[in-house]
Structure 1
Protein backbone atom coordinates (compact mmCIF):
# COMPACT_ATOMS: atom_id res chain seq x y z
CA UNK A 1 0.00 0.00 0.00
CA UNK A 2 1.38 3.40 -1.03
CA UNK A 3 1.51 6.00 1.72
CA UNK A 4 -1.10 8.65 1.00
CA UNK A 5 1.20 11.68 1.44
CA UNK A 6 4.42 10.37 -0.11
CA UNK A 7 6.39 13.24 -1.61
CA UNK A 8 4.16 15.92 -0.09
CA UNK A 9 5.52 18.84 1.93
CA UNK A 10 3.42 20.24 4.77
CA UNK A 11 3.45 23.13 7.21
CA UNK A 12 1.77 22.32 10.52
CA UNK A 13 1.49 25.27 12.89
CA UNK A 14 1.71 24.26 16.52
CA UNK A 15 2.73 20.81 15.29
CA UNK A 16 4.93 20.10 18.27
CA UNK A 17 2.31 19.35 20.92
CA UNK A 18 -1.26 18.20 21.50
CA UNK A 19 -3.44 17.88 18.42
CA UNK A 20 -0.64 19.32 16.29
CA UNK A 21 1.75 16.57 17.36
CA UNK A 22 -0.85 13.96 16.44
CA UNK A 23 -1.18 15.50 12.98
CA UNK A 24 2.59 15.64 12.56
CA UNK A 25 2.94 11.99 13.55
CA UNK A 26 0.27 10.81 11.14
CA UNK A 27 1.62 12.91 8.26
CA UNK A 28 5.10 11.44 8.70
CA UNK A 29 3.65 7.92 8.86
CA UNK A 30 1.93 8.59 5.54
CA UNK A 31 5.16 9.72 3.86
CA UNK A 32 5.07 13.53 4.13
CA UNK A 33 7.86 15.90 5.03
CA UNK A 34 6.71 18.29 7.75
CA UNK A 35 7.77 21.73 8.91
CA UNK A 36 6.57 22.49 12.44
CA UNK A 37 6.02 26.24 12.61
CA UNK A 38 5.57 27.70 16.08
CA UNK A 39 7.16 30.03 18.60
CA UNK A 40 8.86 27.48 20.87
CA UNK A 41 10.96 24.49 19.74
CA UNK A 42 9.20 21.11 19.71
CA UNK A 43 10.74 18.15 21.56
CA UNK A 44 14.04 17.13 19.94
CA UNK A 45 12.67 13.59 19.61
CA UNK A 46 10.20 14.84 16.99
CA UNK A 47 12.86 16.23 14.67
CA UNK A 48 14.53 14.06 12.03
CA UNK A 49 15.21 13.93 8.30
CA UNK A 50 11.45 14.23 7.66
CA UNK A 51 10.52 16.83 10.31
CA UNK A 52 12.08 20.27 10.69
CA UNK A 53 11.34 23.19 12.99
CA UNK A 54 10.89 26.76 11.76
CA UNK A 55 10.53 29.38 14.49
CA UNK A 56 7.81 31.99 14.11
CA UNK A 57 5.66 34.17 16.32
CA UNK A 58 2.24 33.59 14.79
CA UNK A 59 1.04 37.00 15.95
CA UNK A 60 3.68 38.65 13.72
CA UNK A 61 2.81 38.96 10.03
CA UNK A 62 6.43 39.40 8.91
CA UNK A 63 7.56 36.28 10.75
CA UNK A 64 4.69 34.29 9.25
CA UNK A 65 5.60 35.29 5.69
CA UNK A 66 9.27 34.59 6.37
CA UNK A 67 8.49 31.17 7.85
CA UNK A 68 6.50 30.06 4.80
CA UNK A 69 9.32 31.15 2.48
CA UNK A 70 11.89 29.40 4.67
CA UNK A 71 9.95 26.14 4.49
CA UNK A 72 9.69 26.33 0.70
CA UNK A 73 13.44 26.95 0.43
CA UNK A 74 14.51 24.27 2.94
CA UNK A 75 12.14 21.51 1.89
CA UNK A 76 11.81 22.38 -1.79
CA UNK A 77 8.16 23.30 -1.97
CA UNK A 78 4.81 23.30 -0.20
CA UNK A 79 1.74 21.15 -0.84
CA UNK A 80 -0.23 21.24 2.42
CA UNK A 81 -0.92 23.91 5.03
CA UNK A 82 -2.41 22.87 8.37
CA UNK A 83 -3.50 25.87 10.45
CA UNK A 84 -3.57 24.21 13.86
CA UNK A 85 -2.01 26.58 16.38
CA UNK A 86 -4.44 28.25 18.75
CA UNK A 87 -4.98 29.66 22.22
CA UNK A 88 -7.89 29.54 24.65
CA UNK A 89 -8.90 31.26 27.87
CA UNK A 90 -12.11 31.44 29.88
CA UNK A 91 -13.51 34.94 30.29
CA UNK A 92 -16.98 36.33 29.79
CA UNK A 93 -17.52 39.46 27.70
CA UNK A 94 -17.51 41.58 30.86
CA UNK A 95 -14.33 39.98 32.21
CA UNK A 96 -12.45 40.26 28.94
CA UNK A 97 -10.30 43.20 27.92
CA UNK A 98 -9.89 44.45 24.39
CA UNK A 99 -6.32 43.12 24.48
CA UNK A 100 -7.65 39.66 25.44
CA UNK A 101 -9.99 39.68 22.47
CA UNK A 102 -7.25 40.84 20.10
CA UNK A 103 -4.86 38.13 21.29
CA UNK A 104 -7.44 35.41 20.63
CA UNK A 105 -8.24 36.73 17.19
CA UNK A 106 -4.58 37.29 16.27
CA UNK A 107 -3.59 33.68 16.91
CA UNK A 108 -6.78 31.77 16.18
CA UNK A 109 -8.13 33.68 13.19
CA UNK A 110 -5.68 36.22 11.82
CA UNK A 111 -2.72 33.81 11.72
CA UNK A 112 -4.57 31.28 9.50
CA UNK A 113 -5.44 34.17 7.17
CA UNK A 114 -1.83 35.35 6.98
CA UNK A 115 -0.44 31.82 6.53
CA UNK A 116 -2.96 31.11 3.79
CA UNK A 117 -2.13 34.42 2.13
CA UNK A 118 1.60 33.61 2.21
CA UNK A 119 1.12 30.09 0.85
CA UNK A 120 -1.43 30.99 -1.84
CA UNK A 121 0.99 32.26 -4.56
CA UNK A 122 2.96 29.01 -4.34
CA UNK A 123 -0.17 26.86 -4.46
CA UNK A 124 -1.48 28.84 -7.42
CA UNK A 125 1.81 28.55 -9.32
CA UNK A 126 1.90 24.77 -8.99
CA UNK A 127 -1.81 24.42 -9.63
CA UNK A 128 -2.76 22.60 -6.43
CA UNK A 129 -2.71 22.76 -2.66
CA UNK A 130 -4.68 21.55 0.34
CA UNK A 131 -5.40 23.73 3.36
CA UNK A 132 -6.69 22.12 6.55
CA UNK A 133 -7.88 24.50 9.25
CA UNK A 134 -8.43 23.32 12.81
CA UNK A 135 -11.68 24.79 14.04
CA UNK A 136 -13.68 23.44 16.97
CA UNK A 137 -17.12 22.23 17.98
CA UNK A 138 -17.09 25.55 19.84
CA UNK A 139 -17.36 27.21 16.46
CA UNK A 140 -20.81 25.56 16.33
CA UNK A 141 -21.83 25.93 19.97
CA UNK A 142 -20.10 27.19 23.12
CA UNK A 143 -18.97 26.32 26.60
CA UNK A 144 -19.42 28.94 29.37
CA UNK A 145 -16.85 31.71 29.38
CA UNK A 146 -15.74 31.19 25.78
CA UNK A 147 -17.18 34.09 23.72
CA UNK A 148 -13.82 34.99 22.17
CA UNK A 149 -12.78 31.40 21.53
CA UNK A 150 -16.13 30.46 20.00
CA UNK A 151 -16.11 33.58 17.84
CA UNK A 152 -12.59 32.84 16.60
CA UNK A 153 -13.42 29.24 15.70
CA UNK A 154 -16.69 30.18 14.01
CA UNK A 155 -14.58 32.62 12.03
CA UNK A 156 -12.21 29.81 11.03
CA UNK A 157 -15.18 27.82 9.72
CA UNK A 158 -16.45 30.76 7.69
CA UNK A 159 -12.97 31.55 6.39
CA UNK A 160 -12.63 27.94 5.27
CA UNK A 161 -15.75 28.13 3.14
CA UNK A 162 -14.74 31.45 1.58
CA UNK A 163 -11.24 30.26 0.62
CA UNK A 164 -12.71 27.11 -0.92
CA UNK A 165 -15.13 29.15 -3.02
CA UNK A 166 -12.53 31.67 -4.18
CA UNK A 167 -9.71 29.26 -5.04
CA UNK A 168 -11.27 25.94 -6.01
CA UNK A 169 -10.89 26.75 -9.72
CA UNK A 170 -7.12 27.04 -9.13
CA UNK A 171 -6.86 23.51 -7.78
CA UNK A 172 -6.66 24.70 -4.18
CA UNK A 173 -8.89 23.02 -1.61
CA UNK A 174 -9.68 24.24 1.89
CA UNK A 175 -11.44 22.26 4.62
CA UNK A 176 -11.75 22.45 8.39
CA UNK A 177 -11.78 19.96 11.24
CA UNK A 178 -13.88 20.74 14.32
CA UNK A 179 -12.56 18.59 17.18
CA UNK A 180 -14.38 17.98 20.41
CA UNK A 181 -12.62 16.87 23.58
CA UNK A 182 -9.15 15.63 22.63
CA UNK A 183 -6.76 14.25 25.24
CA UNK A 184 -3.60 16.32 25.70
CA UNK A 185 -1.26 17.48 28.43
CA UNK A 186 -3.37 20.65 28.83
CA UNK A 187 -6.65 18.73 29.09
CA UNK A 188 -5.11 16.43 31.71
CA UNK A 189 -3.97 19.42 33.75
CA UNK A 190 -7.48 20.87 33.50
CA UNK A 191 -9.15 17.65 34.69
CA UNK A 192 -6.64 17.14 37.50
CA UNK A 193 -7.31 20.69 38.73
CA UNK A 194 -10.96 19.86 39.43
CA UNK A 195 -11.93 19.14 43.08
CA UNK A 196 -13.38 15.75 42.06
CA UNK A 197 -11.35 14.82 38.99
CA UNK A 198 -12.60 11.21 39.01
CA UNK A 199 -16.20 12.39 38.71
CA UNK A 200 -15.25 14.81 35.93
CA UNK A 201 -13.62 11.97 33.98
CA UNK A 202 -16.70 9.77 34.37
CA UNK A 203 -18.99 12.55 33.21
CA UNK A 204 -16.77 13.33 30.24
CA UNK A 205 -16.82 9.69 29.18
CA UNK A 206 -20.60 9.58 29.50
CA UNK A 207 -20.90 12.53 27.11
CA UNK A 208 -19.32 10.52 24.27
CA UNK A 209 -21.36 7.77 22.58
CA UNK A 210 -18.18 6.02 21.39
CA UNK A 211 -17.24 5.42 25.04
CA UNK A 212 -13.87 7.17 25.01
CA UNK A 213 -12.26 10.57 24.64
CA UNK A 214 -10.48 11.69 21.49
CA UNK A 215 -6.77 11.33 20.82
CA UNK A 216 -4.54 13.64 18.76
CA UNK A 217 -4.03 10.82 16.25
CA UNK A 218 -7.78 10.74 15.61
CA UNK A 219 -7.60 14.30 14.33
CA UNK A 220 -4.36 13.50 12.52
CA UNK A 221 -5.94 10.67 10.57
CA UNK A 222 -8.77 12.90 9.38
CA UNK A 223 -6.24 15.59 8.42
CA UNK A 224 -4.32 13.00 6.36
CA UNK A 225 -7.46 12.19 4.39
CA UNK A 226 -8.29 15.86 3.80
CA UNK A 227 -4.72 16.55 2.66
CA UNK A 228 -4.58 13.56 0.32
CA UNK A 229 -5.95 12.91 -3.17
CA UNK A 230 -8.58 10.63 -1.63
CA UNK A 231 -10.59 13.76 -0.79
CA UNK A 232 -10.00 15.46 -4.16
CA UNK A 233 -13.70 16.33 -4.56
CA UNK A 234 -14.04 17.71 -1.02
CA UNK A 235 -13.66 21.40 -0.27
CA UNK A 236 -15.27 24.05 1.92
CA UNK A 237 -16.41 21.52 4.51
CA UNK A 238 -16.24 21.44 8.30
CA UNK A 239 -15.80 17.92 9.69
CA UNK A 240 -16.86 17.41 13.30
CA UNK A 241 -14.75 14.80 15.10
CA UNK A 242 -16.10 14.47 18.61
CA UNK A 243 -17.08 10.85 19.26
CA UNK A 244 -20.74 11.77 18.80
CA UNK A 245 -20.75 14.28 21.64
CA UNK A 246 -22.67 17.01 19.82
CA UNK A 247 -25.29 14.50 18.63
CA UNK A 248 -26.18 13.24 22.10
CA UNK A 249 -29.04 15.11 23.74
CA UNK A 250 -28.66 15.61 27.49
CA UNK A 251 -31.15 14.10 29.89
CA UNK A 252 -31.90 15.43 33.39
CA UNK A 253 -30.20 13.50 36.18
CA UNK A 254 -32.31 12.61 39.20
Structure 2
Protein backbone atom coordinates (compact mmCIF):
# COMPACT_ATOMS: atom_id res chain seq x y z
CA UNK A 1 0.00 0.00 0.00
CA UNK A 2 2.82 2.44 -0.86
CA UNK A 3 1.62 3.61 -4.26
CA UNK A 4 1.54 7.24 -3.13
CA UNK A 5 5.13 7.54 -1.97
CA UNK A 6 6.62 10.74 -3.36
CA UNK A 7 3.24 12.03 -4.56
CA UNK A 8 1.62 15.18 -3.22
CA UNK A 9 -2.08 15.08 -2.38
CA UNK A 10 -4.03 18.29 -1.76
CA UNK A 11 -7.22 17.79 0.25
CA UNK A 12 -9.74 20.61 0.55
CA UNK A 13 -11.86 20.53 3.67
CA UNK A 14 -9.21 18.24 5.12
CA UNK A 15 -9.26 19.47 8.71
CA UNK A 16 -12.27 17.40 9.80
CA UNK A 17 -14.72 14.66 8.83
CA UNK A 18 -14.26 12.87 5.51
CA UNK A 19 -11.45 15.20 4.48
CA UNK A 20 -9.45 14.51 7.63
CA UNK A 21 -9.94 10.76 7.19
CA UNK A 22 -8.77 11.04 3.57
CA UNK A 23 -5.72 13.07 4.57
CA UNK A 24 -4.79 10.43 7.16
CA UNK A 25 -5.30 7.59 4.67
CA UNK A 26 -3.03 9.20 2.08
CA UNK A 27 -0.38 9.99 4.68
CA UNK A 28 -0.40 6.36 5.85
CA UNK A 29 0.36 5.37 2.26
CA UNK A 30 3.38 7.60 1.99
CA UNK A 31 1.93 10.70 0.32
CA UNK A 32 2.88 14.27 1.05
CA UNK A 33 -0.41 15.67 2.32
CA UNK A 34 -1.47 19.29 2.03
CA UNK A 35 -4.70 20.25 3.75
CA UNK A 36 -6.54 23.27 2.35
CA UNK A 37 -9.21 24.38 4.78
CA UNK A 38 -10.61 27.44 6.51
CA UNK A 39 -9.37 25.77 9.72
CA UNK A 40 -5.81 24.50 10.30
CA UNK A 41 -5.17 20.77 10.38
CA UNK A 42 -3.76 19.48 13.67
CA UNK A 43 -2.10 16.54 11.92
CA UNK A 44 -0.81 17.65 8.51
CA UNK A 45 0.82 20.56 6.73
CA UNK A 46 -2.02 22.95 5.97
CA UNK A 47 -2.82 26.24 4.37
CA UNK A 48 -5.82 28.47 5.13
CA UNK A 49 -8.09 28.36 2.10
CA UNK A 50 -11.67 29.48 1.58
CA UNK A 51 -12.65 27.81 -1.69
CA UNK A 52 -15.15 30.61 -2.31
CA UNK A 53 -12.23 33.03 -2.69
CA UNK A 54 -10.33 32.58 -5.96
CA UNK A 55 -7.33 34.57 -4.72
CA UNK A 56 -7.01 32.40 -1.61
CA UNK A 57 -7.33 29.28 -3.74
CA UNK A 58 -4.54 30.33 -6.09
CA UNK A 59 -2.31 31.40 -3.21
CA UNK A 60 -2.91 28.13 -1.38
CA UNK A 61 -2.08 26.01 -4.44
CA UNK A 62 1.05 28.08 -5.02
CA UNK A 63 2.07 27.42 -1.42
CA UNK A 64 1.57 23.67 -1.89
CA UNK A 65 3.75 23.71 -4.99
CA UNK A 66 6.41 25.74 -3.22
CA UNK A 67 6.39 23.37 -0.23
CA UNK A 68 6.22 20.02 -2.05
CA UNK A 69 7.23 20.76 -5.63
CA UNK A 70 3.90 20.04 -7.32
CA UNK A 71 0.43 18.56 -7.05
CA UNK A 72 -0.30 14.98 -8.10
CA UNK A 73 -3.74 14.37 -6.61
CA UNK A 74 -6.50 16.85 -5.81
CA UNK A 75 -9.30 15.82 -3.47
CA UNK A 76 -12.13 18.34 -3.84
CA UNK A 77 -13.91 17.71 -0.56
CA UNK A 78 -14.73 21.11 0.93
CA UNK A 79 -18.46 21.75 1.13
CA UNK A 80 -21.30 23.09 3.22
CA UNK A 81 -24.82 21.84 3.84
CA UNK A 82 -28.30 23.25 3.50
CA UNK A 83 -31.71 22.18 4.75
CA UNK A 84 -34.98 23.20 3.15
CA UNK A 85 -37.39 22.91 0.26
CA UNK A 86 -37.01 25.01 -2.87
CA UNK A 87 -39.22 27.62 -1.17
CA UNK A 88 -37.34 27.77 2.09
CA UNK A 89 -33.81 28.76 1.06
CA UNK A 90 -33.16 32.36 0.05
CA UNK A 91 -31.29 33.44 -3.06
CA UNK A 92 -28.39 34.36 -0.78
CA UNK A 93 -28.26 30.78 0.56
CA UNK A 94 -28.45 29.33 -2.95
CA UNK A 95 -25.57 31.48 -4.16
CA UNK A 96 -23.47 30.70 -1.09
CA UNK A 97 -23.90 26.90 -1.22
CA UNK A 98 -23.31 26.71 -4.97
CA UNK A 99 -20.32 29.04 -4.61
CA UNK A 100 -18.69 26.66 -2.12
CA UNK A 101 -19.87 23.23 -3.19
CA UNK A 102 -19.62 23.68 -6.96
CA UNK A 103 -17.52 26.71 -7.77
CA UNK A 104 -15.05 25.81 -5.02
CA UNK A 105 -14.24 22.64 -6.95
CA UNK A 106 -13.99 24.61 -10.19
CA UNK A 107 -11.54 27.08 -8.64
CA UNK A 108 -9.29 24.46 -7.08
CA UNK A 109 -9.29 22.26 -10.17
CA UNK A 110 -8.50 25.25 -12.38
CA UNK A 111 -5.57 26.22 -10.15
CA UNK A 112 -4.21 22.66 -9.89
CA UNK A 113 -4.55 21.54 -13.51
CA UNK A 114 -1.29 23.11 -14.75
CA UNK A 115 0.54 21.18 -12.02
CA UNK A 116 -1.42 17.96 -12.55
CA UNK A 117 -0.32 18.02 -16.18
CA UNK A 118 3.28 17.76 -14.94
CA UNK A 119 2.54 14.76 -12.71
CA UNK A 120 3.23 11.13 -13.67
CA UNK A 121 0.08 10.02 -11.81
CA UNK A 122 -2.48 12.84 -11.90
CA UNK A 123 -5.96 12.39 -10.44
CA UNK A 124 -8.87 14.44 -9.17
CA UNK A 125 -11.45 13.02 -6.78
CA UNK A 126 -14.56 15.06 -6.03
CA UNK A 127 -16.92 14.47 -3.10
CA UNK A 128 -20.51 14.27 -4.29
CA UNK A 129 -23.40 12.71 -2.33
CA UNK A 130 -26.29 10.29 -2.69
CA UNK A 131 -28.35 13.47 -2.58
CA UNK A 132 -27.26 13.96 -6.20
CA UNK A 133 -29.29 10.98 -7.38
CA UNK A 134 -31.81 10.20 -4.62
CA UNK A 135 -34.66 12.56 -3.84
CA UNK A 136 -34.29 13.50 -0.18
CA UNK A 137 -36.78 15.54 1.83
CA UNK A 138 -35.75 19.14 2.54
CA UNK A 139 -32.47 18.91 0.64
CA UNK A 140 -33.35 20.81 -2.56
CA UNK A 141 -30.39 23.19 -2.49
CA UNK A 142 -27.85 20.68 -1.22
CA UNK A 143 -29.03 18.06 -3.74
CA UNK A 144 -28.77 20.54 -6.59
CA UNK A 145 -25.21 21.42 -5.64
CA UNK A 146 -24.14 17.78 -5.44
CA UNK A 147 -25.96 16.91 -8.66
CA UNK A 148 -23.86 19.60 -10.31
CA UNK A 149 -20.72 18.02 -8.83
CA UNK A 150 -21.68 14.65 -10.31
CA UNK A 151 -22.17 16.18 -13.77
CA UNK A 152 -19.02 18.29 -13.45
CA UNK A 153 -17.02 15.15 -12.67
CA UNK A 154 -18.15 13.41 -15.84
CA UNK A 155 -17.50 16.48 -17.99
CA UNK A 156 -14.04 17.00 -16.51
CA UNK A 157 -13.19 13.33 -16.99
CA UNK A 158 -14.05 13.67 -20.68
CA UNK A 159 -12.12 16.93 -21.04
CA UNK A 160 -8.90 15.66 -19.48
CA UNK A 161 -8.75 11.94 -20.26
CA UNK A 162 -6.47 12.57 -23.25
CA UNK A 163 -4.03 14.32 -20.91
CA UNK A 164 -3.92 11.29 -18.63
CA UNK A 165 -5.69 13.13 -15.82
CA UNK A 166 -8.31 10.90 -14.22
CA UNK A 167 -11.39 12.52 -12.67
CA UNK A 168 -13.81 10.59 -10.45
CA UNK A 169 -16.11 11.23 -7.52
CA UNK A 170 -17.33 9.47 -4.40
CA UNK A 171 -20.99 9.57 -3.44
CA UNK A 172 -21.27 9.13 0.33
CA UNK A 173 -24.47 8.31 2.12
CA UNK A 174 -25.16 9.82 5.52
CA UNK A 175 -21.75 9.81 7.17
CA UNK A 176 -20.93 10.05 10.85
CA UNK A 177 -19.22 13.43 10.58
CA UNK A 178 -19.17 16.62 12.69
CA UNK A 179 -21.53 18.24 10.15
CA UNK A 180 -24.13 15.50 10.58
CA UNK A 181 -23.70 15.69 14.35
CA UNK A 182 -24.43 19.42 14.24
CA UNK A 183 -27.65 18.68 12.35
CA UNK A 184 -28.58 16.07 14.95
CA UNK A 185 -27.91 18.54 17.76
CA UNK A 186 -30.50 20.88 16.23
CA UNK A 187 -33.23 18.23 16.34
CA UNK A 188 -35.81 18.15 19.15
CA UNK A 189 -34.68 14.63 20.00
CA UNK A 190 -31.12 14.05 18.69
CA UNK A 191 -31.06 10.39 19.75
CA UNK A 192 -34.33 9.65 17.97
CA UNK A 193 -33.19 11.51 14.85
CA UNK A 194 -29.94 9.56 14.79
CA UNK A 195 -31.89 6.30 15.12
CA UNK A 196 -34.06 7.38 12.18
CA UNK A 197 -31.03 8.06 10.01
CA UNK A 198 -29.50 4.71 10.93
CA UNK A 199 -32.76 2.89 10.23
CA UNK A 200 -32.92 4.14 6.65
CA UNK A 201 -29.49 2.62 6.00
CA UNK A 202 -29.72 -0.99 4.73
CA UNK A 203 -26.63 -1.70 6.85
CA UNK A 204 -28.35 -0.24 9.91
CA UNK A 205 -25.59 2.28 10.61
CA UNK A 206 -24.13 5.50 9.30
CA UNK A 207 -21.18 5.45 6.93
CA UNK A 208 -17.83 6.15 8.60
CA UNK A 209 -15.48 8.85 7.29
CA UNK A 210 -12.78 6.19 7.01
CA UNK A 211 -14.93 4.13 4.65
CA UNK A 212 -15.39 7.11 2.35
CA UNK A 213 -11.68 7.87 2.60
CA UNK A 214 -10.84 4.34 1.48
CA UNK A 215 -12.93 4.87 -1.66
CA UNK A 216 -11.20 8.20 -2.33
CA UNK A 217 -7.81 6.52 -2.04
CA UNK A 218 -8.93 3.77 -4.43
CA UNK A 219 -10.04 6.28 -7.05
CA UNK A 220 -6.80 8.25 -6.74
CA UNK A 221 -4.48 5.24 -6.69
CA UNK A 222 -2.08 5.21 -9.67
CA UNK A 223 -2.69 1.44 -9.90
CA UNK A 224 -6.24 2.19 -11.10
CA UNK A 225 -5.31 4.02 -14.28
CA UNK A 226 -8.35 2.64 -16.14
CA UNK A 227 -10.80 4.16 -13.64
CA UNK A 228 -12.08 7.56 -14.75
CA UNK A 229 -15.49 9.17 -15.06
CA UNK A 230 -16.80 7.03 -12.19
CA UNK A 231 -19.11 8.03 -9.34
CA UNK A 232 -18.57 5.48 -6.58
CA UNK A 233 -21.36 5.19 -3.98
CA UNK A 234 -20.25 4.64 -0.39
CA UNK A 235 -23.67 4.71 1.18
CA UNK A 236 -24.41 1.47 2.99
CA UNK A 237 -26.62 0.33 0.12
CA UNK A 238 -29.01 3.30 0.05
CA UNK A 239 -28.64 3.94 -3.68
CA UNK A 240 -29.20 0.41 -4.89
CA UNK A 241 -30.93 -1.68 -2.22
CA UNK A 242 -34.57 -1.81 -1.19
CA UNK A 243 -34.79 -3.88 1.97
CA UNK A 244 -38.31 -5.01 2.86
CA UNK A 245 -38.49 -6.04 6.50
CA UNK A 246 -41.08 -8.25 8.09
Task: Determine the C-alpha separation between the residues in 1 that align with 2:204 and 2:3.
Answer: 29
Q: How does 1:86-165 map to 2 (within 5 A)?
A: 86-126=79-119, 128-165=121-158
> Are residues 140 and 125 of structure 1, via their aligned partners in 2, closer, same or farther at CA, if it must alter by over 3 Å?
same
- In the TM superposition, what is the alpha-carbon distance from 1:192 to its structure 2 partner? 4.1
Is residue 47 of structure 2 the alignment partner of residue 54 of structure 1?
yes
2:102 counterpart SS class: helix
Task: Note if contact 1:210-1:244 (Cα within 8 Å) is conserved in structure 2.
Answer: yes
Match of 1:189 in 2: 182
> Are residues 243 and 67 of structure 1, via their aligned partners in 2, closer, same or farther at CA, if it must alter by over 3 Å?
same
Task: Determine the C-alpha separation between the residues in 2 that align with 1:218 and 1:36.
Answer: 19
Task: Note if contact 2:71-2:119 (Cα within 8 Å) is conserved in structure 1.
Answer: no
- In the TM superposition, what is the alpha-carbon distance from 1:128 to its structure 2 partner? 4.2
Is residue 221 of structure 2 the alignment partner of residue 222 of structure 1?
no
Task: Note if contact 1:175-1:238 (Cα within 8 Å) is conserved in structure 2.
Answer: yes
2:117 counterpart SS class: helix
Match of 1:210 in 2: 203
> Are residues 198 and 126 of structure 1, via their aligned partners in 2, closer, same or farther at CA, if it must alter by over 3 Å?
closer
Task: Determine the C-alpha separation between the residues in 2 that align with 1:244 and 1:210.
Answer: 7
How many equivalent residue pairs?
246
Task: Note if contact 1:11-1:37 (Cα within 8 Å) is conserved in structure 2.
Answer: yes
Match of 1:37 in 2: 36
Task: Determine the C-alpha separation between the residues in 2 that align with 1:200 and 1:147.
Answer: 20
Task: Determine the C-alpha separation between the residues in 2 that align with 1:52 and 1:107.
Answer: 22
2:9 counterpart SS class: strand
Q: TM-score, normalised by structure 2?
A: 0.93
Q: TM-score, normalised by structure 1?
A: 0.90
Task: Determine the C-alpha separation between the residues in 2 that align with 1:100 and 1:204.
Answer: 25
Is residue 5 of structure 2 the alignment partner of residue 6 of structure 1?
yes
> Are residues 143 and 151 of structure 1, via their aligned partners in 2, closer, same or farther at CA, if it must alter by over 3 Å?
same
Match of 1:16 in 2: 15
Structure 1: state its 5+ residue gaps. none
Task: Note if contact 1:8-1:78 (Cα within 8 Å) is conserved in structure 2.
Answer: yes
Match of 1:25 in 2: 24
Task: Note if contact 2:13-2:77 (Cα within 8 Å) is conserved in structure 1.
Answer: yes
Match of 1:248 in 2: 241
Structure 2: state its 5+ residue gaps. none
Match of 1:74 in 2: 67
Task: Determine the C-alpha separation between the residues in 1 that align with 2:4 and 2:84.
Answer: 40
1:245 counterpart SS class: coil
Deviations, residues 209-245 of structure 1 (Å, cap 9, x unaligned): 3332211110111111111122110001100100112
For the aligned residue pairs, the C-alpha RMSD in angstroms reads 1.9
